[in-house]
């Protein structure tokens, strides 16, 4: 959620830190700050609001000048957004930035209060700074080790000690942190995009590892002060992939990148016309005996899992339970040997999903991770792993990450059904060929649906509330459409199974209330249309997203977006695109910050 950066080198540190923080704005934040060694002293500048407020403050008051420093964008947890609560936070000898939540900060603060320590902020982060300062004995490494042993919760820390102006210390526990390696300069960051302008090489810190950076050297220690040898990783995309490339917003750019993202994800996993996931640790032998499957995820990733449930159950005839990760953790799930738990997470660091993975493993289940971030915690800890190869997704509202998660769920469903003997090779080849054809069809939809989506958005911008409805796969998809609209347009939106309308929801229908109906499933066409007529007859303004070959009475709806027809099972991948476009243009027309919607963060690394 919060963003951390740090720099040790020869450049103007303030400029590097603010530039790096700007690449982490997608993570969500409400204040920003930096701390820089200037002539041997730590100078701090921080401000509530966007990075522009920090820039203006430094222009007015003077920016710190130096070559070593740390920076932070804060998403408030303890204490309201304010200049005082902004990071960095300091003790007499130490200054830190922090991503995560310290769960036992209250007890630690009471202890420090008893020792006469005075606090100026309401944050859990200042507690860590003061605890480091309390234990400081001249050895930063010993001090950090002693301190982190007392912390409970998740944290990534960037730390500078007043007595060591040439170096940065960094440590992680649960929350993500990388160490970038350059030529005569080194970095810390919460995520790769922050450093791509300067280097593509980086180390991934493991839990409780401590990095010590100077401009010429990176050393990494474990909690016993033993040096650790790490694999130097290289990002497989460059800075241009994390730039807008001429588009007005990252979200619309990422919508247009979906065909290529699907190709990058699917094509390498096809051999002789059939899915082949051996590189992911998945073979017919090790998946054919699973009795139950659980899909655990959050938000958009959970919606991809819902589509996967329908497809897996239909093709492979294996029962699938889809859980919100935060609920799975605490409901004492009946999971064990012979079961498979699929964890879907774009970042691979989602706190609840990571905890669910560990719980599933402790109960004896096998685990499969579907993630986009190489080397992430979920990727490393799962028994089997499928990378989605979406490249960077900067907009908070997920689009191409969702579409590639869907494509992976389809690949896995095809392979599982074939392994269990539920479908023939011929059927599997046909389905696989259809999946390979999806990118070209999405390209056509992007060209044909832009204008209609924009027009429909003009009908939604003044709405107070609206509904999405669908049946079967269309219901699973409508849940994602509803989420996409509400998170960036701020219009209240809910999704309901169309067949449930008469069980209460239809009472919400008022004159001109927008209802968006997804109609792509041949065997459910007549029943869905009957539900559409029900809401239309009660005054709703009905918008349908439908297969172009479906004949639907024009009196049943007000507006229609047509999409090409293909196998019913794959229609969610096509219908998702106009829903994304409608959400995007509605947000634009309402004047919202499309890429950085209020109160939301891209990576939710705390509970």
- Cα distances from 262 to residues 167, 391, 401, 478, in angstroms, run 42, 11, 10, 21
Closest CA to 421 of 276, 305, 567, 287: 287
Is the pLDDT reported for residue 3 higher than 60?
Answer: yes
Task: Give the tens place of pLDDT for each residue, 241-272.
Answer: 667 778 899 999 999 999 999 999 999 999 99
Closest CA to 372 of 396, 408, 337, 340: 408
Residue 295, classed as helix, strand or coil, is: strand
**8/483 Cα distance (integer angstroms):** 41
pLDDT at 425: 96
Task: Name the residue with tokens 């041997």.
Answer: 40
Q: In which residue ranges of the chain is CATH 3.40.50.10490 found?
A: 245-423, 443-592
Closest CA to 181 of 167, 197, 199, 169: 199
Task: Give the tens place of pLDDT for each residue, 508-563.
Answer: 788 888 999 999 999 999 999 988 988 888 888 999 999 999 999 999 999 999 99
Give mean pLDDT, residues 428-444. Answer: 97
Is the pLDDT reported for residue 596 higher than 80?
Answer: yes
Q: Any idea which of 4-13, 121-130, 142-151 has the lowest mean pLDDT? A: 121-130
Task: Yes or no: say if 491 and 466 are a contact pair by the CB < 8 Å rule.
Answer: yes
Joined tokens for residue 471: 């049946």
pLDDT at 68: 96
Domain at 3-242: CATH code: 3.60.20.10
**What b/e string do you get for 52-87 counting C-beta neighbours within 10 Å, with b at 16 or more?**
eebbebbeeeebbebbbbbbbbbbbebbeebeebbb
Is the pLDDT reported for residue 490 higher than 90?
Answer: yes
Superfamily of the domain at 245-423: Glucose-6-phosphate isomerase like protein; domain 1 (3.40.50.10490)
Cβ neighbours for 290, distance < 8 A, ≥ 6 positions apart: 318, 338, 339, 340, 366, 416
**Residues taking part in catalysis:** 2, 602
**579/481 Cα distance (integer angstroms):** 5
Closest CA to 356 of 322, 386, 387: 322
What is the fold, at CATH topology level, of the domain defined by 443-592?
Answer: Rossmann fold (3.40.50)
Task: Give the tens place of pLDDT for each residue, 185-229.
Answer: 999 998 888 898 999 999 989 889 999 999 999 999 999 999 999
* Bridge-based pairing state of the strands 41-48 and 31-38: antiparallel
């Amino acid at each position: 959620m919060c963003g951390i950066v740090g720099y040790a080198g020869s450049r103007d540190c303030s400029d590097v830190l603010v530039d790096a923080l700007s690449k982490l704005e997608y993570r969500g934040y409400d204040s920003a700050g930096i701390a820089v060694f200037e002539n041997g002293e730590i100078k701090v500048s921080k401000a509530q609001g966007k990075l522009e407020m920090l820039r203006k403050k430094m222009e007015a008051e003077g920016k710190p000048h130096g070559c070593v420093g740390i920076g932070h964008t804060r998403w408030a947890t303890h204490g309201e957004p304010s200049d005082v609560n902004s990071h960095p936070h300091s003790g007499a000898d130490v200054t830190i930035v922090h991503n995560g939540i310290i769960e036992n900060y209250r007890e630690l603060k009471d202890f420090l209060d008893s020792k006469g320590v005075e606090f100026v902020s309401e944050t859990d982060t200042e507690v860590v700074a003061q605890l480091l300062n309390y234990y400081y004995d001249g050895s930063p490494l010993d001090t950090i080790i002693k301190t982190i042993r007392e912390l409970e919760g998740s944290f990534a820390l960037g730390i500078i000690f007043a007595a060591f102006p040439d170096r940065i210390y960094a440590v992680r526990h649960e929350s993500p942190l990388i160490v970038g390696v350059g030529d005569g300069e080194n970095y810390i960051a919460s995520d790769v995009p922050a450093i791509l302008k300067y280097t593509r090489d980086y180390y991934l810190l493991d839990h409780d590892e401590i990095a010590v950076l100077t401009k010429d050297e990176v050393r990494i220690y474990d909690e016993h002060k033993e040096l650790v040898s790490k694999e130097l990783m290289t990002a497989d995309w460059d800075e241009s992939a994390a730039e807008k490339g001429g588009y007005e917003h990252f979200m619309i750019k990422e919508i247009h990148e979906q065909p290529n993202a699907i190709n990058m994800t699917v094509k390498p996993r096809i051999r002789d016309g059939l899915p082949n996931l051996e590189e992911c640790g998945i073979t017919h032998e090790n998946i054919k005996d699973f009795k139950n499957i659980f899909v655990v995820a959050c938000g958009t990733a959970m919606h991809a899992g819902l589509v996967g449930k329908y497809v897996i159950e239909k093709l492979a005839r294996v029962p699938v339970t889809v859980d919100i990760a935060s609920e799975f953790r605490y409901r004492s799930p009946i999971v064990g040997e012979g079961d498979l738990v699929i964890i879907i997470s774009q970042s691979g660091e989602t706190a609840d999903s990571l905890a669910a993975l560990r719980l599933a493993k402790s109960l004896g289940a096998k685990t499969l991770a579907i993630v986009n971030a190489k080397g992430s915690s979920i990727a490393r800890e799962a028994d089997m792993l499928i990378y989605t190869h979406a490249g960077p997704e900067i907009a908070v509202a997920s689009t191409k990450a969702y579409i590639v998660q869907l494509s992976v769920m389809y690949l896995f469903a095809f392979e599982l059904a074939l392994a269990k003997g539920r479908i023939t090779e011929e059927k599997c080849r046909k389905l696989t060929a259809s999946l390979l054809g999806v990118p070209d069809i999405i390209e056509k939809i992007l060209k044909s649906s832009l204008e209609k989506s924009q027009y429909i958005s003009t009908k939604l911008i003044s709405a107070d509330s609206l509904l999405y409805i669908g049946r079967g796969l269309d219901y699973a998809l409508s849940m994602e459409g509803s989420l996409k609209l509400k998170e960036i347009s701020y219009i209240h939106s809910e999704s309901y199974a169309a067949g449930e309308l008469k069980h209460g929801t239809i009472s919400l229908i008022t004159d001109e209330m927008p209802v968006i109906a997804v109609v792509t499933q041949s065997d459910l066409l007549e029943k869905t249309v009957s539900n559409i007529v029900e809401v239309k007859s009660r005054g709703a303004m009905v918008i349908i997203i439908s297969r172009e070959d479906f004949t639907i009475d024009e009196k049943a709806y007000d507006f229609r977006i047509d999409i090409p027809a293909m196998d019913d099972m794959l229609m969610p991948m096509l219908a998702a695109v106009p829903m994304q476009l409608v959400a995007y243009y509605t947000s634009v027309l309402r004047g919202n910050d499309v890429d950085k919607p209020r109160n939301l963060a891209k990576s939710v690394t705390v509970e």
